[in-house]
Structure 1
Amino acid sequence: MLRLLYRVFASVQSENTLKAAGVYSSFCSAASLPASACSGFAVNPTMEHKLYQPPPEVRGMTSLDKEAFTQTVTVPALRVPTGVLNKVVKSLKKATIQRPGVPRVVQDKEESSDFRLVLLDPNRVTSSSSFSEAEAEALRSFSVPEELHHYELRLTYHNLKSEEVLEAVLPQGQDVTSAFSRVGHIAHMNLREHQLPYKNLIGQVIMDKNPGVTCVVNKTNTIDSTYRNFKMEVMAGEENMVAKVKENGVTYEFDFSRVYWNPRLSTEHQRVVELVNRGDTVFDVFAGVGPFAIPAARRGANVLANDLNPESYRWLQHNCKLNKVEKKVRAFNLDGRAFVQGPVKQELPELLKGKAGVHVVMNLPALALDFLDAFRGLLHQEPPCEEKLPTVHCYGFSKDDNPETDMVARASRSLGFPLKDRCSVHFVRNVAPNKDMMCVSFTLPKEVLFSNDQEQTESSEEPAPKRQKCEEATDST
């Protein structure tokens, strides 16, 4: 439902307009996305800031001159006796000025120690009639006249929001964005072509306006499908790419420029890990730095985690030690297919004799569906049917109008076995207006796991005697 709403919104307005209207932030909240996934704010270039009108000379600035943004503006104010000051400010909290570094209460211009001026938001209050009934009643109860005074307020660069600065600098008519993903001390942006001449200024503004951000980077190409990392250039700050992040109570460290990490997936990591019980075994085919593997190990699972990228493998081992689960996780540096046909194949026969669950996580959305054929005929000896078969959680991207159907069809083709009515499909997130990330989960069919390619069929039917035996075994449990 959320995916459909997003597509409807995207078809009539740009993402920037949605964010400016507050729709995007509401969507993030409704989708249970973490705050780090929705960092920053994108601004509609037609937005007006009544309080601050930037000087025309800052337009086109590529090297940040903070002094050029200084401006004096007139704001409304109330003259309030000091004895009731705190009560008045509390009653007018929605009407007072809200701006970085700007106090809501200032010295009375007449310099009387008995009064203070409470500064009001000029977008909210333009006359004494602007107060709500409750606000007006509060002022009367405190014997505060509703007469508005005027106060000359000096605004500097430090009092401006990042979107105000960027809107003032970038060309009119172009979209303006200060949105980014936060990874530890790193702010990661995806700038568009027309924003590139201003990249250093944008980076400096983002760093100035977001405490704790000491490095701002821009992605310069698409993710490499082999190692799942992308080249980045530093726009501002230190060239320190080793980030430390905390997700769902687990700490991770890694070189962000050399491994794959997406802060928007924390909810999905938690969803799948919560399906794992103590004593289960988890095979993480594309483990990265461990966002599935390590939480699963902390829940008491035995984990075999693999990644082809040597850097991911190194940081996976590091994070296992960091979180004290190195004895619960065996790490591998193999191709995904080699991992399935090697360690997975070696471990499965014994695991299938037990009662504990087995999970296979395949989080490489660009390619994971194509690796499902590695399970065809993986094992030679078919166990009794009552034994528990592995549950596979395989991720993929879909641009189809019906992504659920698309995912099932593609997974079925790769397995050589129909999954319709034998799987579930979970919407993870919207990657672009016409591109969704999905997860298809299913019990690995024994017709796939214990058959050779020559024996694969498009039918899920079993010989009658075997099917009957399984039904009898099911009824007896």
Structure 2
Amino acid sequence: MLRTLTRFFVYVQTESNLKRLSLCSAARTGSAMTEPKLYRPPAEVRGMTSLDKDAFTQTITVPALRVPTGVLNKIVKSLKKSTIQRPGVPRVVQETEESSDSRLLLLDPNRVATPSSFSEAEAEALRSFGVAEELHRYELKLTYDNLKSEEVLEAVLPPGQDVTSAFSRVGHIAHMNLRDHQLPYKNLIGQVIMDKNPGVTCVVNKLNIIDSTYRNFKMEVLAGEENMVAKVKENGVTYEFDFSRVYWNPRLSTEHQRVVQLVKRGDTVFDVFAGVGPFAVPAARSGASVLANDLNPESHRWLQHNCKLNKVEGKVRTFNLDGRAFIQGPLKQELPGLLRGKASVHVVMNLPALALDFLDAFRGLLHQEPPCDHNLPTVHCYGFSKDDNPDTDVVKRASRSLGLPLEDRCSVHFVRNVAPNKDMLCVRFTLPKEVLFCSDEEHAEEPASKRQKCEDTTDSA
């Protein structure tokens, strides 16, 4: 139970780092001038499926202070926590054309109900600048442009329904995973997200789980242009790709950086499931020699494009092979020579739904070579786990694939929660010589792992 609660807490913390649409918080006890409905759109918009921005217009009453223009800037600075904070709403307004010597400072009705609502420091500032603590009322017109995303969606969706929704930003694209009860409002939701997030010109919704073979998914455009070619910058590296045809997850930026920082100039990196290059390209930029592979022809094409874009095409050799064929082909051919060198060798296997099953490709890989224990490759293999003890689970599965216990020979790094009960982890170990150089008689060949679809839809959220 404790493990489940811990996972949920970390998952919520992770999700909070994304653009999140959430329910408005309740007004602070004892400080609201009136109930917080002042900030909510009119009730008539409930159930709207086609966005009518004019329907959200309303007039509310907010408290205000009359402040002499000579001390206005100082008062605004002293009361900044109590002033109104609304998108597109000015905090200072002119009361009438004749009131040239004073202005009205608009206050937050959920913070200031009476003069006694001011903090001691705020009250002292008002007295020191000779500003009367008398509150005035100001009729403020709010439009759709002055509302927050969550306020619009809370007003539109059926009462009692969870309106919480997250999206990932991939260049100009906002990528969503809508829930079933949100689907009747999908186009409205897409338009709201595009309106409220500058730079977003396309909003898409994922329609199915990730295809394990090519690691992409079908999607529909909810709002904006149907341009799926995104340009993103991650850890100082620029990438371009067709988001609808390749795999890209902005939540893995920290993990990409963590592993690449372990690679030194002169090292060699074998990237078995390279995608569009988030490990391969920065590793090459750091001075490593890289062999990068991906089965998806589109990923392979954009991988080559990103190598040229970042001027590392001379340091990266690209392949369009199945991961097992890459290990038993190019990697096998290059490895004997690398083992005789001094630079380190890294093997990155970032296909968490299946990568652990591919470890058996290393069994007896160099059985025709003279055994050695020098400069053996470091493997970084990713996996998902729904087990109560995910660290133990991924190590057992890696050991089973290799045919050798890894419990005392590896480390496990927690990457992220992809769901409240599903973890992504990285198993790091030196490839044992007992596995790499074992003879045909010392191990039984296992059939190639059958392709299978990812179990969960949340990984690319």
In structure 2, the residue matched to 1:7 is 7
The Cα offsets for residues 304-335 of structure 1, whole Å up to 9 and x where unpaired, read as 00000000000000000000000000000000
Say which of 91, 112, 127 aligns to 2:114. Answer: 127
Equivalence for 1:137: 124
Deviation digits for residues 421-441 of structure 1, max 9, x if unmatched? 100000000000100000000
What is the deviation of 1:453?
Answer: 4.9
- Report the counterpart of residue 452 of structure 2 in structure 1: none
For 1:187-266, list aligned pairs within 5 A. 187-266=174-253
Q: Deviations over 1:358-400 (max 9, x none)?
A: 0000000000000000000000245564511000000000000
Secondary structure in 2 aligned to 1:179?
A: strand
Amino acid at match of 1:157: Y
Match of 1:99 among 68, 86, 95: 86
Structure 2 unmatched ranges of 5 or more: 28-34, 445-461
> CA–CA distance in 2 between the matches of 1:395 and 1:44?
37
Matches of 1:339 and 1:116 in 2, distance apart?
71
Q: Does the 8 Å CA contact 1:80/1:118 hold for their aligned counterparts? A: yes
> What's 1:295 paired with?
282
The AA in structure 2 aligned to 1:173 is: G
Structure 1 CA distance for aligned equivalents of residues 60 and 428 of structure 2: 59
Kindly indicate whether the alpha-carbon contact (under 8 Å) linking 1:50 and 1:122 is maintained by their aligned counterparts in 2: no
Aligned to 1:271: 258
Equivalents in 1 of 2:116, 2:437: separation in Å?
79
> Which of 406, 429, 435 is the equivalent residue of 2:416?
429
Distance 2:4 2:233 in 1: 31
Q: Which amino acid aligns with 1:200?
A: N
Name which structure has the greater RCO, CA cutoff 8 Å, separation 6+.
2
- Secondary structure of the corresponding residue to residue 227 of structure 1: coil
Distance in 2 (alpha carbons) for counterparts of 1:304 and 1:42: 43
Q: Which residue of 2 aligns with 1:40?
A: 20
Superposed, 1:127-166 pairs within 5 Å as 127-166=114-153
TM-score by length of structure 1 reads 0.88
- Quote the Cα distance in structure 2 between the aligned partners of 1:67 and 1:222: 37
Deviation at 1:406, TM superposition (A): 0.2
1:43 offset after TM fit, Å?
2.5
How far off its partner does 1:271 sit?
0.3
CA spacing shift, 1:248–1:158, aligned 2, 3 Å = same
| Superposed displacement of residue 247, structure 1 | 0.2
**Alpha-carbon distance in 2 for matches of 1:331, 1:411:** 26
Partner residue in 1 for 2:453: none
Deviations 1:274-306 (A, max 9, x none): 000000000000000000000000000000000
Q: What does residue 473 of structure 1 align with? A: none
Instruction: State how far apart, in whole Å, the 2-side matches of 1:415 and 1:54 are.
Output: 60
CA contact (8 A) 1:108 1:117 kept: yes
2:303 equivalent among 294, 312, 316: 316
Separation in 1, partners of 2:195, 2:301: 33
Secondary structure (helix, strand or coil) at the match of 2:169 reads strand
Shift of 1:455: 1.1
Which of 329, 340, 345 does residue 358 from structure 1 map onto? 345
Name whichever of 103-112 and 38-47 sits farther off: 38-47
Tell me whether 241-250 or 138-147 shows the greater mean CA deviation: 138-147
Native 8 Å contact 1:426 1:440 kept in 2:
yes
Within the alignment, does 1:83 sit opposite 2:70 as a pair? yes
Matched, 1:328 2:315: yes
Instruction: After TM superposition, give the deviation of residue 94 of structure 1 in Å.
Output: 0.6
Provide the rounded CA distance (Å) in 2 between the counterparts of 1:304 and 1:271. 19
State the SS of the aligned residue for 2:38.
Answer: coil
- In 2 relative to 1, CA 250–173 (structure 1 residues): closer, same or farther, beyond 3 Å? same
Residue in 1 that maps onto 2:449: none
8 Å CA contact 2:40, 2:151 repeated in 1: no
Q: What is the CA distance between 1:456 and its match in structure 2?
A: 4.1
Do the aligned partners of 2:4 and 2:420 also contact (CA within 8 Å) in 1? no
Q: Which residue matches 1:51?
A: 38
Give the equivalent residue in structure 2 for 1:403: 390
Rounded Cα–Cα distance in structure 2 between residues aligned with 1:348 and 1:141? 77
Counterpart for residue 349 of structure 1: 336
Aligned to 1:72: 59
From 96, 100, 117, the counterpart of 2:104: 117
Alignment pair present for 1:286 and 2:259: no
Distance 1:257 1:267, change over 3 A: same
SS across alignment from 2:318: strand
CA contact (8 A) 2:336 2:369 kept: no
The 1:126/1:394 distance shift into structure 2, 3 A limit, reads same
Distance in 1 (alpha carbons) for counterparts of 2:369 and 2:172: 51
**Cα separation, 2, equivalents of 1:437 and 1:90:** 46
* Structure 1 Cα separation of the partners of residues 87 and 251 of structure 2: 27
Alpha-carbon distance, 1:177 to partner: 2.7
Q: 1:132 to 1:383 in 2, by over 3 A?
A: farther
Is 2:353–2:384's contact at 8 Å kept on the other side of the alignment?
yes
Q: Tell me the percent identity.
A: 83
Paired residues of 1:50 and 1:123 also in contact (CA < 8 A):
no
Q: Alignment partner for residue 420 of structure 1, among 382, 401, 407?
A: 407
Letter in 2 for 1:41: L
Report the equivalent of 1:391: 378
Mapped partners of 1:45, 1:435: distance in 2: 29
Gapped runs of 5+ residues in structure 1? 16-23, 458-477
* In structure 2, C-alpha distance between the alignment counterparts of 1:88 and 1:203, rounded to whole Å: 40
Query: Any idea what the Cα deviations from partners look like across 1:152-195, whole Å, max 9, x if unmatched?
Result: 00000000000000000000111103421000000000001111
Aligned residue number for residue 30 of structure 2? none
CA 1:340–1:453: 2 relative to 1, 3 Å: same
Q: Secondary structure at the match of 1:327?
A: coil
